Chain A
Amino acid sequence: MTTQTVTLTGLRAVYGRGARRVTALDGVTTSFASGTFTAVMGPSGSGKSTLLHCAAGLDRPAEGTVTIDGRRLDDLGENELTRLRRDRIGFVFQAFNLVSTLTAAQNVELPLRLAGRRPPARDVTAALDAVGLADRAGHRPSELSGGEQQRVAVARALVTRPAVVFADEPTGALDSAASRQVLRLLRGLVDDHRQTVVMVTHDPTAAAYADRVLLLADGRVVDELTGAITAAVVAARIAERETVPAESVGEASC
């Protein structure tokens, strides 16, 4: 039986006030079952990052509720929310993921240390090894390439064995070999450990690793793909929805 790890109901998110008001999410209701891999896609500015932030409890929606592991986030105080995030959720940001004064290994063990635990060195090495960076453990972010930094962030999101991993374009800055490595890793979490993965991506090939694709436009879920997902199917479905397809799909995120 599948349980719903994350449930979103009637999410609305609004930025700014008055004339500068932007509705980033406009009534999103969906859920992410445990042991599934979901890809969130959509044009730039469609609210993908906002959706992830709200679902991960990093931001509070204007309306609607988020439930993780059966706990409603709006019932939680800042400290409880932080603890929940620390224990149950892993997050990979779109950019700027690492603390610049810490080495790669220290960045990876940071969440555990914040929780008051001292991670065994071999767990940290294993996590870095999984993203192909075992030999870069002692380097600081300024000595790593953008893609390497992104992979350290992935390693950090995995090391706590969270119930859900949210990843905002984790492969955005990676070449195809490194992308494949990260995507396989995420897939492995789902297949081997029944963890839940939610990933934002613009790349149909990356989306092909998922069990399900959510398509967002103007803050709404406009389409959903399940079953046998291939890059071609995804690309075709996106092309259908776009009025000027070539431009939107090819455009890199901000």
Chain B
Amino acid sequence: MLSIRRSAGAFVAVAIGVTLVAAATLLLASGRPRVPDRLAYAAVVVQSPDAGAPADSFAPTRPWSAARTAELTGRLADVPGVTAAVPDRTFYAQALVDGRPPATDARREDAHQGHGWSSSRLGGLRLTAGEPPRQAGEVVVDRALGLRPGGPVTLLTAAGPEPYTVTGLVDAPGVWVADGVAAALAPGVRAIGLLVAPSTDAEEVAETVRGVVGGDGRVLTGDARGAVEPRGDARTRWIGRQVLTAMAALAGFVTVFVVASTFAFTVAQRRRELGLLRAVGATPRQVRRLVHAEALVVGATAGVAGLLAGAAIAPGLGRLLVDVGFEPATFQVRYEPWPLAVSFLAGPAIALLAVWAASRRAARVSPLEALREAAADQRPVGRLRVATGVLLVAAGAALSLGTATSDDARSGATFALYAVMALVAGATVLAPAVVGPVVRLLRSPVRRPGGAIGMLVRAGALTATRRTASIAAPVLLTVAFAVLVSGMVRTTTAAYAAGRADNVNAGWVVVPDRAPGLSDQAVAATGGTALLPTTVFRSDPGTPPENRPLTALGVDPAGFAAANRALTVVAGTLNDLRGDDTVVVPASANRQPTQPYALVFADGESVSLRVVAVVTDDSIRGDLLLPRSVVRAHDPSALTSAVYLRDRIEPPLGARIVDVSVWAAEADRAEDRLVWLFTLLLIGVSAGYGAVAVANTLLMAAAGRVADLRLIRLAGALRRQVIWLVTAESALVVLIGALLGGAVAFVGLLSIRAGLAEQVGVPVDLVVPWSVVGGVVGLCLLLAVLASALSAWRSLSSRTGRRA
């Protein structure tokens, strides 16, 4: 009873969907933390205590102080089976080549990290040339930089550029200095690596080590040592996970949709046949089972095809993700069993979900429909359909409102994804009800190309509302998604930039160039107002979690107050932010001036500070204000993120100067770029899909229209006219879909704009990237026109099918 030709469309759609799901889940399963090469030889790694932060904040762990490190290292070295215990000291350091930081892989966090030479043992590093560093001023660098042992090199650290001598070369990114230098630059330690005697079992050693460390750290072995990977890598992988999850979810959702409309369409086309089955004795249940069985066969075979294709493209897609920055450079594809199992089930599951509505319709076909013409489908919408559609649209509107009012970009994006899904589903469900009025609206433009054609086009679209709707649905889906998501991302970016520029009272901003931050020397050279961010840890007595990480900004109070328009002091005065024990807290910290406030700094030292002022929460882009000197004293590797200036100056080494609007626009550029790429990826997935679905439906519809077309041709139309008729018809349908989709999305965008304006406090312009929208509509139009012209041409020239 299965017809290959009839099921080809659904097959292709399911196969593509499963391909994407398979590739995405494979990559998801592959994305696991990797033990840094630097620590590869340390069978046991002791990590400093976890910061009590949510997993997606990527805060570093709370470091041990210098004294505690020395004590721990000594005790760990005495554990039986441990041959050496080496603290892993990591700080900011970058070798300058030709007076600038080298344009090496800027995304590799370890390319601008320095370490003490003793920790090279933990990674089994060998010198490829020269000697290890023995005293201050000596350094071992990456061979890839092209420097020679004995030659001079300028090393950029948080203090500024300093002259060093290259004593040796290794085959790894980063720089290695003498242990004494490393201890000064990185007084706080976050990991101690243990080398274990060859004959001993790492797990046994780890057990003993746990007894030594107690609650002051985590003891890791095997793959668990991945927890000490660079925070940047963890963050990149987290972003990748969001991208892949969204891709898998979207692909699955869109597939169900496209396949559902394909099945609905096949059922509509087969009404006569189904009626005949009913007439000769098939019960509604049997008809339903028949449709289910067909879907299951299509789903299972397409699922296997998609699974194989997905497994095949996964490595390439993985490399692409690394290239664009959605996965860390250390990412590798691994073929785990569970994604394969999930994808294997995805095909039948998608097909069964998709066929649900269609099978209900099929079961309701009455025996007498065998006698009726298939195309005239006069009852466009049932009450259940309208109710479902209205509910979905309402849910979509509510979710859009959620997007607009959420103050967190991540949850906003999630809301947006769900909003679009709901709106699209609702609009598609309602489409048959809306098609009639819209076609009537579009009447005039179509009337022009010769009365007969216009009449036929309109009549065709109107009588077969459901056919029209199932062609328009994928376009609607794609366009709505493209407009809403791209518009939302662009509008949000612009809104935040406007808000940022509005808050800063400065003409120019000095920002780092090819470096993670600005050194003290660079800051001093500009003479402007600088922010020196660092991570500190706070344990509020009685309120978990312990070691909550906070972003503290080291500032000079007068300059900060002058440059920050959003600053509102609630209590105390900012001018008291002096000395080595003062802090300014936001109102939400619930502290009053003169109360004590204890913090653990990046060097692991616990210090009791005094609150001198309280500011409103939105005054600062951080959690605390500290005197700049305090931050520097406790965090030798802290880097300045930006310096605000009245007037333009010549930028110092490793820096650029930009005007404030440019700065505002690019302040989150790296993030914005990722978000935009993510957006384009999602739009690409759905657009490619929509276009395939349109072509697919049109090709299927063509099969049912051969007779019509021949009749029109016999009635005296030229072949050219018939092809024009078919093309105009599909163009019209694509236009209907684009219009509906655009309208739905625009409503969402308006609410988002309102929410944003409220949030950033300045008027927000609606930014819609028309090129993206145009591209999406163009793609659908192109494929639609091609598919319909091609099939019309083919059916008019074929001489075989006499039962046409």
Closest to A160 in B: B281
Contact at B280–A91, with CB atoms within 8 Å?
Answer: yes
Tell me whether B276 is interfacial, beta carbon within 8 Å.
Answer: yes
Contact at A114–B279, with CB atoms within 8 Å?
Answer: no
* Contact with A101, one of B3, B285, B368 (Cβ below 8 angstroms): B3
Closest to A102 in B: B1
Contact at B273–A82, with CB atoms within 8 Å?
Answer: no
Interface of chain B residues 752 through 804 with chain A (CB within 8 A): 801-803
Which residues of chain A are within 8 angstroms of B282 by Cβ–Cβ distance?
82, 114
Which residues of chain B are within 8 angstroms of A87 by Cβ–Cβ distance?
281
A40-48, A92-100, A125-133 - interface stretch: A92-100
Which residues of chain A are within 8 angstroms of B104 by Cβ–Cβ distance?
none
Encoded as 1 (CB less than 8 Å from any A CB) or 0, chain B from 245 to 289 comes to: 000000000000000000000000000110011111111111000
Which residues of chain A are within 8 angstroms of B286 by Cβ–Cβ distance?
114
Nearest Cβ on chain A to B463's Cβ, whole angstroms: 15
CA A114 – CA B281 in complex, angstroms? 6
| Given A100-B273, A101-B3, A114-B286: A93 in contact with B371 (beta carbons within 8 A) | yes
* Contact with B283, one of A82, A142, A156 (Cβ below 8 angstroms): A82
Contact at B279–A93, with CB atoms within 8 Å?
Answer: yes
* Contact with B276, one of A59, A79, A83, A99 (Cβ below 8 angstroms): A99
Interface residues on chain A, number (Cβ under 8 Å): 29
Tell me whether B367 is interfacial, beta carbon within 8 Å.
Answer: yes
Tell me whether B370 is interfacial, beta carbon within 8 Å.
Answer: yes
CA A97 – CA B280 in complex, angstroms? 10
Which residues of chain A are within 8 angstroms of B2 by Cβ–Cβ distance?
101
Which residues of chain A are within 8 angstroms of B279 by Cβ–Cβ distance?
58, 85, 91, 93
Contact at B272–A96, with CB atoms within 8 Å?
Answer: yes
Interface of chain A residues 30 through 82 with chain B (CB within 8 A): 49, 53, 58-59, 78-79, 82
Contact at B284–A94, with CB atoms within 8 Å?
Answer: no
CA A59 – CA B366 in complex, angstroms? 8
Nearest Cβ on chain A to B297's Cβ, whole angstroms: 14
Which residues of chain B are within 8 angstroms of A53 by Cβ–Cβ distance?
368
Nearest Cβ on chain B to A87's Cβ, whole angstroms: 8
Contact at B370–A96, with CB atoms within 8 Å?
Answer: yes
Tell me whether A111 is interfacial, beta carbon within 8 Å.
Answer: yes
Which residues of chain B are within 8 angstroms of A110 by Cβ–Cβ distance?
277, 280-281
Nearest Cβ on chain B to A155's Cβ, whole angstroms: 12
Interface of chain B residues 355 through 412 with chain A (CB within 8 A): 366-368, 370-371
Contact at A58–B367, with CB atoms within 8 Å?
Answer: yes
Nearest Cβ on chain A to B203's Cβ, whole angstroms: 62
| Given A99-B277, A102-B1: A83 in contact with B371 (beta carbons within 8 A) | no
Nearest Cβ on chain A to B281's Cβ, whole angstroms: 3
CA A172 – CA B771 in complex, angstroms? 61
Which residues of chain A are within 8 angstroms of B283 by Cβ–Cβ distance?
78-79, 82-83, 114
Which residues of chain B are within 8 angstroms of A100 by Cβ–Cβ distance?
273
CA A159 – CA B577 in complex, angstroms? 100
Contact at A82–B281, with CB atoms within 8 Å?
Answer: yes
Nearest Cβ on chain B to A119's Cβ, whole angstroms: 13
Contact at B368–A59, with CB atoms within 8 Å?
Answer: yes
| Given A96-B276, A142-B803: A79 in contact with B284 (beta carbons within 8 A) | yes
Tell me whether A115 is interfacial, beta carbon within 8 Å.
Answer: yes
Nearest Cβ on chain A to B367's Cβ, whole angstroms: 5
Closest to A85 in B: B281
| Given A102-B1, A114-B286: A97 in contact with B276 (beta carbons within 8 A) | yes
Contact at A86–B273, with CB atoms within 8 Å?
Answer: no
CA A82 – CA B278 in complex, angstroms? 7
Closest to B372 in A: A96
CA A104 – CA B677 in complex, angstroms? 57
Nearest Cβ on chain B to A141's Cβ, whole angstroms: 8
Which residues of chain B are within 8 angstroms of A142 by Cβ–Cβ distance?
801-803
Which residues of chain B are within 8 angstroms of A98 by Cβ–Cβ distance?
276
Contact at B281–A115, with CB atoms within 8 Å?
Answer: yes
Which residues of chain A are within 8 angstroms of B803 by Cβ–Cβ distance?
141-142
Encoded as 1 (CB less than 8 Å from any B CB) or 0, chain A from 134 to 162 comes to: 00000001100000000000001000000
Contact at B276–A94, with CB atoms within 8 Å?
Answer: no
Which residues of chain A are within 8 angstroms of B277 by Cβ–Cβ distance?
99, 110, 114
Encoded as 1 (CB less than 8 Å from any B CB) or 0, chain A from 214 to 229 comes to: 0000000000000000
* Contact with B280, one of A78, A79, A156 (Cβ below 8 angstroms): A156
CA A156 – CA B273 in complex, angstroms? 16
CA A114 – CA B285 in complex, angstroms? 11
Contact at B284–A111, with CB atoms within 8 Å?
Answer: no
Which residues of chain B are within 8 angstroms of A99 by Cβ–Cβ distance?
1, 273, 276-277
Which residues of chain B are within 8 angstroms of A141 by Cβ–Cβ distance?
803
CA A59 – CA B282 in complex, angstroms? 15
CA A96 – CA B707 in complex, angstroms? 15
CA A86 – CA B279 in complex, angstroms? 8
CA A98 – CA B282 in complex, angstroms? 14
| Given A101-B3, A102-B1, A114-B286: A96 in contact with B281 (beta carbons within 8 A) | no
Closest to B804 in A: A142
CA A114 – CA B366 in complex, angstroms? 16
Contact at A111–B281, with CB atoms within 8 Å?
Answer: yes
CA A81 – CA B801 in complex, angstroms? 37
CA A98 – CA B801 in complex, angstroms? 17
CA A254 – CA B289 in complex, angstroms? 34
CA A82 – CA B2 in complex, angstroms? 23
CA A49 – CA B367 in complex, angstroms? 14
CA A93 – CA B273 in complex, angstroms? 13
Nearest Cβ on chain A to B620's Cβ, whole angstroms: 70
Nearest Cβ on chain A to B270's Cβ, whole angstroms: 10
Nearest Cβ on chain A to B286's Cβ, whole angstroms: 6
CA A49 – CA B279 in complex, angstroms? 14
Nearest Cβ on chain A to B466's Cβ, whole angstroms: 20
15 chain-A/chain-B pairs, Cβ below 8 angstroms: A49-B371, A58-B368, A59-B366, A79-B284, A82-B278, A82-B284, A85-B281, A93-B276, A93-B370, A95-B371, A101-B3, A110-B281, A114-B277, A114-B286, A156-B280
Other than the known A49-B371, A53-B368, A82-B283, what 13 A-B pairs have Cβ atoms closer than 8 Å? A79-B283, A83-B281, A86-B280, A96-B370, A96-B371, A98-B276, A100-B273, A110-B280, A110-B281, A111-B281, A114-B281, A141-B803, A142-B803
10 residue pairs, one from A and one from B, having the closest CB atoms: A86-B281, A58-B367, A111-B281, A82-B283, A114-B281, A142-B803, A111-B280, A114-B282, A79-B283, A58-B368
